[in-house]
Structure 1
Amino acid sequence: MRRRRVTLLAGGVGGAKMAEGFAALADVELTVIGNVADDEAFHGLWVSPDIDTVTYTLAGLINRDQGWGVADEAGRALEVLKTLGEDTWMFLGDRDFGLHIHRTARRARGERPSVIARDVARAFGVEAEIVLPTDDRVQTKVETDAGWIGFQDYFVRQQCAPEVKALRYDGIEAARPTPEALAALAGADLIVIAPSNPLVSIRPILGIPGIAEAVKQAAAPVVAVSPLIAGRVVKGPADRMMAALGHRVDAVGIAEIYAGLAGSLVIDEADAALAGGVRAAGPEPVIRPTLMTDLAGKRRLAGEILALCPEPVA
């Protein structure tokens, strides 16, 4: 029997952990559709944080302590830039700079970002397919009391401190989905929405014209995983963002966001009492331990999600 084709919509550390769990299952053929709306230029180089986090994680190169960047990294190039008067609030390690130089040079030659991402993953020995939802530029902007700022400014430079008034995704209305993303959704045996920030990691993927429609039209079951446990996020600003933008900050709030899209929502055991509210919002609740602290935990959760998928036909 063939391996089951899993298409994972993912962004951030939670998405990378979920990807690592599925990649560890021998009977899975994994495709990751990653978020590109966090991308931004720094020091003349195009940086793609979420795609790189997934790539480094699946390649075994990730800095485990912080969940992003390359392990055993140095910052000498950044020290030189700082000496020369450059603003260096966005940390980019020396080996990380190599990837950004490569990506930027190929983009300048007119190559498709999707092809570049695929080639980078293969060069690093990643077996899973890493797919971009669009080759067009989409960028998340955050409205604060000081006005609109880029997501990396909010997330890294200001450490998520400003209150979020609104979000927008510049360029998303005109963006075109990649054929690779549409094919991965149409051909999947299981579509999984990772426990990523639903507002700034998943919504920029689903908001690209044609992507949400492809998810809804896919024959595969769609399972979302809540990034919240007992009303709190494991990592990142999702809970604060949801509260600031008027969403209920618990598993029911996640169910409301994915209603009409996901048939099931995996929620943590700590949120078992919310199962009725999740069901009333639309998705069928699936109660499992969702905290992924090591590879065994990631593999276990991925296996339990995979068990929700019917066996594929030969």
Structure 2
Amino acid sequence: MPNPQTRVVVLAGGVGGSKFTLGVRAALRRLGAPEATVVVNTGDDLWLSGVRLQPDVDSITYALAGVNDTVRGWGRAGDTERVNEELQAWGAGWPWFTLGDLDLGTHLARTGWLREGLTPTEVLGRMAERWPLGIRLLPMTDSEVDTHVHVEDGRRLHFQEWWTRYRAALVPTRFENPGILDATPAPGVVEAIARADVVLLAPSNPVVSIGPILAVPGVRAALRSTAARVVGVSPIIGGRVVRGMADVCLTAIGVETSAAAVARHYGARSADGVLDAWLLAEEDAAAASEVQAAGIRVLVAPLWMRDEDASAAIAEAALGA
């Protein structure tokens, strides 16, 4: 296991990212280690009804603060939807995209600060002052690089419309983040990776959660050059996605829905990829030799994040790599 001075960076997004981040925080507290830095996907951000939404940022913030809705997997616990109902009555917003009242308070505060000239990094820093998160959160970039999905019938949809309205039922042909080639990592991201002892890739969607982070110019290079061990945690267990529609996303980019295929997709640092080691679920232990043949060290562990203790155990196994 790492020592109490271990510096940890996590790349994360989505529900899997928020659960894993909770586990990392718990594991580091057991070690008496300093807080980790979590670089959060902002590729699924959007403007809606005049306010800026950052779904992954908010999911992870709410989870760390202990105010998230654990049943739905997004939003605030105990939230109401009176304002959303009024928006729908005016024909505003998206009828299939629910905004809770407490959640809207977050979006309004964020939008106001952005309008005042704060950057997304500064906004997230201000948000983190409200609760003792025990984790340093950074957006992947301060640029707006929302994810768009091209589907088989020729349309281009915002990721949230494709994901939430259509439940990924429209066959995607490709994903893009307009403007990402001109983006730069948010202040502190590259520096945190450079100083880290361990960098963890959360068991988040490889295409639309981790993919946009790696696509920000400078992030992949930072991972390639850091002295830290880069360890990924498989989001695939027993040949199936744990949550969401990551299998549809993987198919669209020509990657099989298997733990070994996702490891190869990230690639070994020894072969121009980003991974040194890969955590496989016990159900996928037979694929260990396949991953090792790609130049990636393999560790096998239980990967079901059923509660915070289980997530902490997974984080400890990843840190131990």
TM-score, normalised to structure 2's length? 0.93
Q: Give the CA deviation at 1:132.
A: 1.2
Q: Which ranges of structure 1 fall in alignment gaps of 5 or more residues?
A: 309-314
Distance 1:300 1:55, change over 3 A: same
Q: Give the CA deviation at 1:2.
A: 4.2
Query: What is the aligned partner in structure 2 of residue 83 from structure 1?
Result: 89
Q: Give the CA deviation at 1:249.
A: 1.4
Query: What is the aligned partner in structure 2 of residue 161 from structure 1?
Result: 169
Instruction: Give the stretch that moved more between structures: 52-61 or 83-92.
Output: 83-92
CA contact (8 A) 1:9 1:34 kept: yes
Query: What is the aligned partner in structure 2 of residue 213 from structure 1?
Result: 221
- The 2-side partners of 1:229 and 1:206 are apart by 23
Q: Give the CA deviation at 1:38.
A: 0.3
CA contact (8 A) 2:232 2:318 kept: no
Q: Which amino acid aligns with 1:72?
A: G
CA contact (8 A) 2:148 2:175 kept: yes
State percent identity of aligned pairs: 37
- The 2-side partners of 1:175 and 1:240 are apart by 27
Query: What is the aligned partner in structure 2 of residue 283 from structure 1?
Result: 296
Query: What is the aligned partner in structure 1 of residue 109 from structure 2?
Result: 102
Tell me which of 1, 6, 11 is aligned to 2:13: 11
Query: What is the aligned partner in structure 1 of residue 24 from structure 2?
Result: 22
Moved over 6 A (4+): none
- Determine whether 1:180 maps to 2:193: no
CA contact (8 A) 1:228 1:239 kept: no
Query: What is the aligned partner in structure 1 of residue 316 from structure 2?
Result: 303
Tell me which of 49, 54, 72 is aligned to 2:55: 49
Q: Which ranges of structure 2 fall in alignment gaps of 5 or more residues?
A: 268-272
Q: Which amino acid aligns with 2:51?
A: L
Tell me which of 137, 145, 155 is aligned to 2:152: 145
Q: Give the CA deviation at 1:6.
A: 1.0
What is the DSSP-based 3-state SS (H/G/I as helix, E as strand, rest coil) of the residue aligned with 1:71? coil
Post-superposition Cα deviations, 1:243-277, rounded to whole Å, max 9, x if no partner, equal 23311210111111111211001010000011111
- The 2-side partners of 1:117 and 1:100 are apart by 12
Query: What is the aligned partner in structure 2 of residue 114 from structure 1?
Result: 121
TM-score, normalised to structure 1's length? 0.95
Query: What is the aligned partner in structure 2 of residue 263 from structure 1?
Result: 276
Query: What is the aligned partner in structure 2 of residue 226 from structure 1?
Result: 234
- The 1-side partners of 2:226 and 2:277 are apart by 15
- The 2-side partners of 1:20 and 1:297 are apart by 10
- The 2-side partners of 1:82 and 1:6 are apart by 43
Query: What is the aligned partner in structure 1 of residue 37 from structure 2?
Result: 31
Q: Which amino acid aligns with 2:43?
A: A
Q: Give the CA deviation at 1:306.
A: 1.6
